[in-house]
Amino acid sequence: MDPDSRNPALIAQSLSCERGGRHLFAGLDFALAPGDALVLRGPNASGKSSLLRVLAGLLEPTEGQVLWHGKDTREDPADWRRSLAFLGHGTALKPQFSVGDNLGFWSRFEQASRTPAEALEAVGLSHLADLPASMLSAGQQRRLALARLAARPGGCWLMDEPTVTLDAASVEQLSAMIAQHRAEGGIAILATHEDLAVENAAVLTLGVRS
């Protein structure tokens, strides 16, 4: 992941974040080119989620900036937001809606390039499209949340603990999904404790600071 050898799409420059008077990380620099992946590791409360939220633009960094194709994502967020797919702790699902309707709304709202049917296929939930989301197990809900990312290939996926509640087969499926996303020129940044197979990924280990 040498930023000089290829054209980096996403650049983080000396990112620092402070939450509740506690320094989570400081002076983080990295650059990711299309097809790259970055795995964030570290103990609980080391700032993995906060880093993802800072990158997404949900949290203000105390210092530094994030550039997407050379543009500051804070000052000129339009391109970044069109390319960004974020998976946080919540699944963003409405139990009142069916599986298909849940995904259908986000696909329309985020103007996804793949159809909901294709995205459901990618996470193996096609046969449950008409089921109310409230009937899904925790792992299936997670897969449905991942389908939202599958509907938006090619950009940058930010994933916070994507493997939580997933069974072994689904974790493998997620690995394959990320591999395909990268093959299509996408970038994946994920925080995880699990040994999710992500080939040739850069690893950034955050530590607990005082």
Partner 1 sequence: MSAFTALVRRDVALATRRGGEAALTLGFFVITIALFPFGVGPDPELLGRIAAGIIWVTALLAAIVSLDRLFRQDLEDGSLDLLALSPMPLELVVLAKCLAHWLVTGLPVTLLAPVMGMMLQLDPEAYAPLIIGLALGTPALSLVGAIGASLVLGARRGGALIGLLVLPLYIPVLIFGISAVEAALAGLPVLPHILIEGAVLVVSLPLAAFAGAGALRLAMD
Residues forming contacts to partner 1 in the complex (CB under 8 A) are 56-60, 77-78, 81-82, 84, 86, 88-94, 96-97, 101, 105-106, 108-111
CB 139 within 8 A of CB 166: yes
CB of 19 to partner 1, least distance (A): 9
CB 126 within 8 A of CB 117: yes
CA–CA gap between residue 160 and residue 169 (Å, rounded): 19
CB of 144 to partner 1, least distance (A): 12
In this complex, which beta carbon is closest to partner 1, that of residue 25 or of residue 80?
80
| β-strands 63-68, 10-19 pairing | antiparallel
In this complex, which beta carbon is closest to partner 1, that of residue 166 or of residue 201?
166
CB of 115 to partner 1, least distance (A): 15
In this complex, which beta carbon is closest to partner 1, that of residue 29 or of residue 72?
72
In this complex, which beta carbon is closest to partner 1, that of residue 5 or of residue 109?
109
Burial group, residue 75, by CB count within 10 angstroms (0-12, 13-18, 19+): exposed
In this complex, which beta carbon is closest to partner 1, that of residue 88 or of residue 154?
88
| CB neighbourhood size of 98 (10 A) | 17
From residue 186, give the alpha-carbon distance in Å to each of 32, 34, 155, 193. Answer: 10, 5, 5, 22
CB of 2 to partner 1, least distance (A): 30
CA–CA gap between residue 133 and residue 97 (Å, rounded): 6
CB of 96 to partner 1, least distance (A): 5
In this complex, which beta carbon is closest to partner 1, that of residue 8 or of residue 104?
104
Burial group, residue 203, by CB count within 10 angstroms (0-12, 13-18, 19+): exposed
CB 147 within 8 A of CB 122: yes
CB of 195 to partner 1, least distance (A): 25
Q: Which two tokens stand for residue 88?
A: 């946080």
